[in-house]
C-alpha cells in the first residue's frame, strides 16, 4: 500500500509544460492602488466618463470591504499595494489582420498549441487572445459579423457598442458583490465581449485564451456575454501562465445574460501555473462568474480546473425566469500543494426552475479539494428542482477532499437531491489495467479520465480531447 | 513453456502457496481444482505479478523469468489472467480499454499500434466468438455488467489479446447454461499449438466442454495430485476429502504435466 501511495504521489508531481515566459515589450504601471491608479487605467483606455465613475464607485466600495474569510484555504496574505494594476504588451494600437499581431505573441500562442492564423485554426472556433489582461487579437470577426454576432475585446466593445456594455455591465455581478468583484470592477483592464442577437445561433464556438506573462502584475479581466431571446452560443476560455516563484493574483469577473429561451454554454479549461511541490509560486485564481437565466433560458457552466495554486470560484446561475435551467459540471484537480475551493450557487427564483450540479474533485500529492455549493430556493420558486452529485477521488494519503453543500429552501414544493461519494483509485483497478499491459501511468490516467467522463462529455469536442490530455499531463510524473 | 518450481507466496508472513510445481507444455490445457481458499487465485496473481505477496521459487515462460517483471511486462510476454472477480472501471469505454490494452503490449513488443478502424474488425471478431452484443463495447469496462457478462468480457479480452499463456480463474462460475457453452466454445476456439491454458474451476461440467490434457488438485498451496480428466470426475463424486487429510503432508508428488 505505502509503495503504491508513494508511486501515486510521484505520478501526481508532474511538471508544468507551459512554464515559459516570453520577452514582450510591456507597458507596466508602478505598483500600488489608489484612486489615481483607477483614473490612470481608465485614461489609458480612453474610457467614457460613465465608466470611470462606475470604476470609482467600485473602488470606493472595495476600500470598505474585507477579504473573504478563507475557511478551508491556507493562504499567505496578499499585498494589494505591492501589485501593479496595469501591464500591456506594447503594440500597434489597431490590428486589422493577423499579420499585424506581434510575431512574439504569435509564437507564444503557437507554443501553447493555439495557432492564431485563421487558415490554420480549428475551423470552427473564433479566438480572442488575451495577454496580461489585454486583448491582442480576435479572429473570425468578419464571419461572425455576418451572423450579427459581436465578439471583440472588452475595450473595443466600450468604444464601439457603449450602449450594450452600459446596459449589462454589473447587471449580474454588482460592484459590491464581493471583495474581488469590487476590485476587478475598479481596475479591470480588458477581457472579452460577446453579443448574440435575438434568434441567432452563433455559427461557431467562441473562445478566449488568457495568458499571464508579466511578473508581479494582478490580472483583472472582465467578460460579458449577452444572448438575446432565442439565441444560442457556446463559449470556451483557456488559461495558462509562466512559471514564477511569486504568487500572482488573478481576479476575473464573468457575467452572462441569457434572455428568454436563450442558451449559453460556458466552458473553462483552466491551467494557470500551479506552483511547485513545495507550494512556491503559482496563481491565486479568485474569480466571480455568474449568469442570469430569464424565462425558459438555460445556462450551463463546464469547468476543468487543473492549474493555479489556489482556486476560489463558484460559477453561479440566477434562475430568474420560469422554467429556467442551470447546470454546473466541474472537474477540479489539486495536486502538489494546490488548493481548490470551488463549486456553484444555484439561486432559484422563477417557478419550475431546475438545476443540476455534477462535481468531480481529484486530490493528489498534498492537494486539498473542497466542493462548496449553495442551492437556494426562494419563496417564489414553485416546484423548483435540484440534483447535486459530488464525487471525490483521492490519489494518495496526504491529500484531502471536502464536500460542503449549503441548501436553503424557502418553498416547500422544492425537490433538492444531494449525493456524494469519496473513492480512491483502487489498487485493483490499477492491477487489472497493468495485467492487460498498460503502464501504471497510463492506467492511472485512464482511470482518472473515466472518473471525469460525465463532465468531459459536456465539453465541445475539440476541447474534451485537450482536457483529457491536460489531466493526464497534470498527473504524469517521474515513474519509470 | 510455463515452468513453475517450488513457488511460494505469502501475505504478511502467512504462507499461501507452499511450494507449487507445475509444467505446462505448449498447446496444453491444464485444469486446476481445489477447495476454497487453497490458493488457486493466489497462484494466478503470482504469475501475473500482483503487488503484496512475498514470492520465492521459480516461474518462467519460454525460459524467461517472470518473477522479476512488472505486471505489464508479463502481459507483454504473453501472460493473461481471466479474473475471478473482474474489476469495474467506471467511465472508461470498453472498446477504448481493449484497444489501449492491445496497443500497450504491441508497443512493448516493438510492434506497430493498431488504429481505431482496424481495431474495430479485431473487436468484432472477438465479439462474435463470445456472442456478445455490440453495445457492450460502448459501455464502461465491467460497470454494471452482470456477473456472467463480466466473465464473458474476460474471454473477449483474451480473444483480443491473443496471449501465450491464459490463466482463467473460475471463468465458469456464475454463468448460465448457454453462457457456459459460449464461453467454453470461445476457449476451445482459442486453443492453439502456440497457446497454453490453465483453467481454474470448481466444476467438472466445464471440463466436459473444455477437455483438459491434465487435471491438478491444489490443496493448501500445493499440487497434491495430478491426472487426466477422470480425476475431475473422481473429485465430483468424492470431494477433496481424500486429499485434504493425508495428502497434505505427503512428500512432493511426481507431475504428470509435460515438460516445457
Ligand atoms: N490479502 C490477503 N490477506 C490475507 N489473506 C489472504 C489475502 N488474499 C488471500 N488470502 C488468503 O489466501 C488464501 C488463498 O486465497 P485464494 O484466493 O488464492 O483462494 P482460492 O483457492 O482462489 O479460493 P476460491 O476457490 O474461493 O476462489 C485464502 O485463505 C485467503 O483468505
Ligand atoms: Mg479464487
Structure confidence by residue, pLDDT tens digits, B125-169: 999 988 888 888 889 999 999 888 999 999 999 999 999 999 999
d(CA B70, CA A261) in angstroms, rounded, equals 57
Q: Ligand 1 within 6 A of B54 CB?
A: no
Q: How many domains does chain A have?
A: 1
A86-117 burial string, b = 16+ CB within 10 Å, else e? bbbbebeeebeebeebbeebbebbeebebbbe
Q: Ligand 1 centre from B41 Cα, in Å?
A: 7
Please give the DSSP secondary-structure letter assigned to residue B5: E
How many beta carbons lie within 10 A of that of residue A52, not counting itself?
16
Give the CATH number of domain B2-249: 3.40.50.300
Find out whether the beta carbon of B11 lies less than 6 Å from any atom of ligand 1: yes
Asked whether the beta carbons of A131 and A89 are under 8 A apart, the reply is: yes
Ligand 1 pocket: which of B11, B32, B37 to mutate (most atoms <8 Å of CB)? B37
Label the pairing between strands B89-93 and B140-141. antiparallel
Distance, CA of A110 to CA of A68 (rounded, Å)? 38
Of B166, B79, A476, B17, whose CA–CA distance to B69 is shortest?
Answer: B79
Distance B127 CA to ligand 1 centre (A): 32
CA of B200 to the centre of ligand 2 (A): 8
Question: Is the model's pLDDT at B196 over the cut of 90?
Answer: yes
Q: What residues contact residue A71 under an 8 Å CB cut-off, 6+ apart?
A: A341, A370, A372
Whether residue B112 has its Cβ less than 6 Å from ligand 1:
no
Q: Does residue A352 fall inside a structural domain?
A: yes
In whole angstroms, what is the distance from residue B74 CA to residue B72 CA?
5
What is d(CA A208, CA A154) in angstroms, rounded to the nearest whole number? 12
Model confidence at B259: pLDDT above 60: no
Residue A468 lies in a domain: no
Q: Interface pTM (ipTM) of the complex?
A: 0.92
* CA-closest candidate to residue A329, choices A392, A388, A377, A259: A388
**Residue B63 pLDDT > 70:** yes
Beta bridge partners of B214: B30
CA separation for the pair A27, B223 (Å, rounded): 80
Beta bridge partners of B59: B4
- CA distance linking residue A338 with residue A368, whole number of Å: 6
A147 φ, ψ (degrees, to nearest 5): -85, -5
Asked whether B202 and B231 are in contact (CB, 8 A), the reply is no
Four-CA torsion A179, A185, A187, A188, nearest 10 degrees: 120
- The residue with cell 512488472 is B70
Q: Which of B7, B31, B34, B41 has most ligand 1 atoms within 8 Å of CB, for mutation?
A: B41
A476 occurs within a structural domain: no
Q: Sheet holding A385-395: strands in order across?
A: A134-138, A125-131, A205-211, A232-240, A263-271, A298-305, A325-334, A354-364, A385-395, A415-424
pLDDT on residue B251 = 46
Name the phi and psi angles at A109, rounded to 5: -70, -30
B201 lines ligand 1 (CB under 6 A): no
Burial (CB count <10 Å: 0-12, 13-18, 19+), residue A193: buried
Indicate whether A464 belongs to any domain: no
Chain B hits for A449, Cβ within 8 Å: 91-92
How many whole angstroms separate alpha carbon B73 and alpha carbon A438?
9
Sequence-ordered list of residues with C-beta below 8 angstroms from that of A249, at least 6 positions apart, any chain: A78, A83, A218, A219, A283, A284, A286
pLDDT at A131: 62
Burial grade of A330 (CB within 10 A; 0-12, 13-18, 19 or more) = buried
- For the beta carbon of residue B67, count every other beta carbon within 10 angstroms: 16
User: If we measure between CA atoms, which residue out of A221, A105, A462 comes closest to residue A115?
Assistant: A105
What average pLDDT is seen over chain B? 89
Cα first-last separation, chain B: 4
Q: Is B53 helix (H, G, I), strand (E, B) or coil?
A: coil
Which residues share a beta bridge with B36?
none
**Among candidates B48, B74, B104 on the partner chain, residue whose Cβ is nearest the Cβ of A438:** B104
Atom 24 in ligand 1: residue holding the nearest Cα = B36
Give the span between the Cα atoms of A90 and A99, in whole angstroms: 16
Q: What does the alpha-carbon distance between residue B141 and residue B157 come to, in Å, rounded to a whole number?
A: 11
Q: Are A455 and A360 contacting, i.e. CB atoms less than 8 angstroms apart?
A: yes
User: How far apart are the C-alpha atoms of A288 and B160, rounded to whole Å?
Assistant: 50
Q: Which DSSP string do the residues of B161-173 spell out, in sequence order?
A: H--SEEEEESTTT
Q: How far is CA B29 from CA B152, B194, B197, in A?
A: 19, 11, 5
C-alpha closest to that of B71 among B100, B37, B105, B38: B105
**DSSP annotation of A351:** T
Contact A440 B72 (CB under 8 A): yes
Distance B98 CA to ligand 1 centre (A): 28
CA distance A470 to A307: 10
Domain assignment present for A439: no
Name the helix (H) or strand (E) containing A393.
Answer: strand A385-395
pLDDT at B238: 80
- Alpha-carbon gap, residue A294 to A119, rounded angstroms: 37
Cβ of B39 less than 6 Å from ligand 1: yes
Q: What are phi and psi of B178, to 5 degrees?
A: -70, -40
Tell me the longest C-alpha to C-alpha distance in chain A: 68
Residue A333 to residue A475: CA distance in whole angstroms? 9
pLDDT in tens, A121-133: 444 566 666 665 5
CA-only gyration radius of chain B, Å: 18
Q: Find the residue in A nearest to B75 (Cα).
A: A437
Whether chain B has a CB inside 8 Å of the CB on A431: the answer is yes
Give per-residue burial for A357-390: e unless 16+ CB within 10 Å, then b.
bbbbbbbbbbbbbbbbbbbbbbeebbbbbbebeb
Give the domain range for residue A246: 16-425
Which residue ranges in chain A fall short of pLDDT 70?
A: 1-27, 70-73, 87-139, 210-218, 239-247, 279-280, 462, 476-480
Does A430 fall in a domain?
Answer: no
Residue A267 within a domain: yes
B75 has a pLDDT exceeding 90 = yes
Please indicate, yes or no, if residue A40 is contained in any of the structural domains. Answer: yes
Domain boundaries, chain B: 2-249
Q: CA–CA separation, B164 vs B240, rounded Å?
A: 31
Phi, psi of A92 (to 5 degrees): -60, 140
Amino acid at each position: 500500500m505505502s509503495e503504491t501511495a508513494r508511486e501515486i504521489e510521484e505520478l501526481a508531481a508532474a511538471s508544468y509544460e507551459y512554464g515559459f515566459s516570453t520577452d514582450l515589450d510591456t507597458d507596466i504601471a508602478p505598483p500600488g492602488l489608489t484612486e489615481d491608479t483607477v483614473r490612470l487605467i481608465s485614461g489609458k483606455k480612453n474610457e467614457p466618463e460613465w465608466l470611470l465613475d462606475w470604476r470609482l464607485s467600485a473602488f470606493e466600495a472595495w476600500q470598505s470591504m474585507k477579504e473573504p474569510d478563507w475557511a478551508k484555504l491556507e493562504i499567505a496574505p496578499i499585498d494589494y499595494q505591492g501589485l501593479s494594476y496595469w501591464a500591456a504588451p506594447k503594440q500597434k494600437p489597431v490590428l486589422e489582420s493577423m499579420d499585424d499581431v506581434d510575431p512574439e505573441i504569435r509564437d507564444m500562442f503557437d507554443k501553447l498549441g493555439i495557432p492564431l492564423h485563421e487558415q490554420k485554426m480549428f475551423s470552427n472556433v473564433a479566438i480572442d487572445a488575451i495577454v496580461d489582461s489585454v486583448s491582442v487579437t480576435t479572429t473570425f470577426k468578419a464571419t461572425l459579423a455576418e451572423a450579427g454576432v459581436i465578439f471583440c475585446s472588452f475595450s473595443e466593445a466600450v468604444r464601439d457598442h457603449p450602449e450594450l456594455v452600459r446596459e449589462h455591465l454589473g447587471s449580474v455581478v454588482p460592484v459590491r458583490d464581493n471583495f474581488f468583484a469590487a476590485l476587478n470592477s475598479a481596475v479591470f483592464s480588458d477581457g472579452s465581449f460577446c453579443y448574440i442577437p435575438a434568434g441567432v445561433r452563433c455559427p461557431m464556438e467562441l473562445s478566449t485564451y488568457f495568458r499571464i506573462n508579466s511578473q508581479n502584475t494582478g490580472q483583472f479581466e472582465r467578460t460579458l456575454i449577452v444572448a438575446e431571446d432565442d439565441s444560442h452560443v457556446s463559449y470556451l476560455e483557456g488559461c495558462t501562465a509562466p512559471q514564477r516563484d511569486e504568487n500572482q493574483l488573478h481576479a476575473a469577473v464573468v457575467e452572462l445574460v441569457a434572455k428568454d429561451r436563450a442558451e449559453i454554454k460556458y466552458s473553462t479549461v483552466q491551467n494557470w501555473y500551479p506552483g511547485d511541490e513545495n507550494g512556491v509560486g503559482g496563481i491565486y485564481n479568485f474569480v466571480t462568474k455568474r449568469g442570469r437565466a430569464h424565462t425558459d433560458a438555460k445556462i450551463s457552466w463546464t469547468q476543468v480546473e487543473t492549474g493555479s495554486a489556489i482556486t476560489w470560484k463558484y460559477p453561479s446561475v440566477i434562475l430568474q425566469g420560469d422554467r429556467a435551467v442551470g447546470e454546473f459540471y466541474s472537474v477540479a484537480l489539486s495536486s502538489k500543494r494546490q488548493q481548490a475551493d470551488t463549486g456553484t450557487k444555484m439561486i432559484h427564483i422563477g417557478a419550475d426552475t431546475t438545476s443540476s450540479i455534477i462535481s468531480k474533485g481529484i486530490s493528489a500529492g498534498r492537494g486539498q479539494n473542497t466542493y462548496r455549493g449553495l442551492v437556494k430556493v426562494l419563496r417564489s420558486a414553485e416546484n423548483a428542482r435540484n440534483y447535486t452529485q459530488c464525487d471525490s477521488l483521492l490519489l494518495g494519503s496526504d491529500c484531502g477532499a471536502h464536500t460542503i453543500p449549503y441548501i436553503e429552501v424557502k418553498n416547500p414544493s422544492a425537490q433538492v437531491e444531494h449525493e456524494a461519494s469519496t473513492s480512491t483509485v483502487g489498487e485493483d483497478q490499477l492491477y487489472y489495467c497493468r495485467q492487460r499491459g498498460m503502464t501504471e501511468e497510463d492506467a492511472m490516467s485512464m482511470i482518472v479520465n473515466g472518473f471525469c467522463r460525465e463532465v468531459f462529455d459536456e465539453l465541445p469536442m475539440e476541447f474534451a480531447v485537450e482536457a483529457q490530455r491536460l489531466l493526464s499531463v497534470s498527473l504524469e510524473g517521474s515513474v519509470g | 513453456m510455463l515452468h513453475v518450481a517450488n513457488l511460494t507466496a505469502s501475505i504478511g508472513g502467512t504462507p499461501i502457496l507452499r511450494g507449487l510445481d507445475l509444467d505446462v507444455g505448449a498447446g496444453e490445457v491444464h485444469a486446476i481444482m481445489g477447495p476454497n481458499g487453497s490458493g488457486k487465485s493466489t497462484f494466478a496473481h503470482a504469475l501475473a505479478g500482483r503487488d503484496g505477496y512475498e514470492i520465492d521459487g521459480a516461474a518462467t515462460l519460454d525460459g524467461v523469468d517472470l518473477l522479476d517483471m512488472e505486471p505489464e511486462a508479463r502481459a507483454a510476454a504473453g501472460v493473461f489472467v481471466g479474473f475471478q472477480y473482474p474489476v469495474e472501471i467506471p467511465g472508461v469505454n470498453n472498446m477504448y480499454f481493449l484497444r489501449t490494452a492491445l496497443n500497450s503490449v504491441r508497443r512493448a513488443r516493438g510492434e506497430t499500434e493498431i488504429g481505431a478502424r482496424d481495431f474495430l474488425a479485431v473487436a468484432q471478431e472477438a465479439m462474435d466468438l463470445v456472442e456478445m452484443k455490440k453495445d457492450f463495447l460502448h459501455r464502461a469496462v465491467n460497470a454494471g455488467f452482470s456477473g456472467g457478462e463480466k466473465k464473458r468480457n474476460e474471454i473477449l479480452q483474451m480473444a483480443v489479446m491473443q496471449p501465450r499463456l491464459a490463466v482463467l480463474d473460475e471463468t465458469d462460475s456464475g454463468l448460465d447454461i448457454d453462457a457456459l457453452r459460449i464461453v467454453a466454445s470461445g476457449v476451445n476456439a482459442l486453443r492453439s499449438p502456440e497457446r497454453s491454458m490453465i483453467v481454474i474451476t470448481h466444476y467438472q461440467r466445464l471440463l466436459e466442454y473444455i477437455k483438459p490434457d491434465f487435471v491438478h488438485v491444489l490443496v493448501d498451496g500445493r499440487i497434491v495430485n495430478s491426472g487426466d480428466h477422470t480425476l475431475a470426475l473422481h473429485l465430483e463424486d468424492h470431494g477433496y476429502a481424500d486429499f485434504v487429510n493425508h495428502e497434505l503432508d505427503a512428500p512432493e508428488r511426481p507431475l504428470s504435466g509435460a515438460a516445457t
